[in-house]
Amino acid sequence: MNLFDLVQAQQIHAAEVSAERAGNKVIGVEGRLGELESRFNRLALVTHSLWDLLKDRHGYTGEELRDWVTLTDLKDGKLDGRLRQTTAPLNCHKCNRVISRAFARCMYCDEPAAEGDIFDRVH
């Protein structure tokens, strides 16, 4: 193997390592995207169910809902189309470590998270 072949082999190896790292990042992003899609779908389900309940059982109108959304948006002082929740973290009931409300299972021991607030897994 001459010097040119050696340099080329090193470059090929470096490119393979780089491609593998990029592939691992893509897998991580795909997992995160799937998690976000799951949260979005749960949020849409809960939101539509709530709206149907309010319309059908209590007679609220779309205009009242829009006004209420505006009031909720303004709770943090900014009308920016965002909800800023400040909820305390949960403790896993098995290992007692702090876990995110956003996940269905403890990331340390894989214990299912206790059902809490209905919106816990959507934010």
Residue ranges binding Zn ion (CB under 5 A): 92, 94-95, 106, 108-109, 111
- Which residue lies nearer to Zn ion by CB, 11 or 100? 100
Could you give the CA distance from residue 49 to residue 114 in angstroms, rounded to a whole number?
22
* Minimum gap (Å) between residue 107 Cβ and Zn ion: 8
CB of 56 within 8 A of CB of 49?
A: no
Is-contact 111 102, C-beta < 8 A?
no
CB closer to Zn ion out of 106 and 122: 106
- Give whichever of 48 and 94 is closer to Zn ion, judged by the CB atom: 94
Residue 120 Cβ vs Zn ion, minimum distance, rounded to whole Å:
16
Q: How far is the CB of 88 from Zn ion (least distance, A)?
A: 17
